[in-house]
Amino acid sequence: MELNLKLRLLHNDDVAFGPGKADLLEAIAAAGSISAAARNMGMSYRRAWLLVDVMNRCFREPLVHSAAGGSHGGGAQLTDTGAAVLAQFRKMEAAALQAARPHMAVFTALLNE
């Protein structure tokens, strides 16, 4: 049996950031576009765009800057704030997992298989 710890940052009624959104930001940074990131993650462009929209609305500054496609190209990139949020979230995940390990062992012993 494997237990997982998933952190989510809630802002009012929105999930401002979490592991899926962190993965999406990493995919956007690697692919250079929201549509390519969505394809690489097996999700629809609309779903990816909605997740980016939530992130951009929840933070003081946008996490992703996108330009419309067409004859001049387009694409998307992380802003400095987006890169900082992603890095800080990954650090927080690692710290939380480290802190939770002893507790996870107790829960593993108490849960049904």
Render pLDDT for 54-85 as a digit per residue (tens, 0 to 9): 999 999 999 999 887 655 567 999 999 999 99
Domains of the chain: 9-86 (1.10.10.10)
3-state helix, strand, coil in the chain (%, to 5): 60, 15, 30
Long-range contact list for 41-48, CB < 8 A, 24+ apart? 48/24
Cα–Cα nearest to 67, from 35, 92, 39, 95: 35
Is the model's pTM score more than 0.95? no
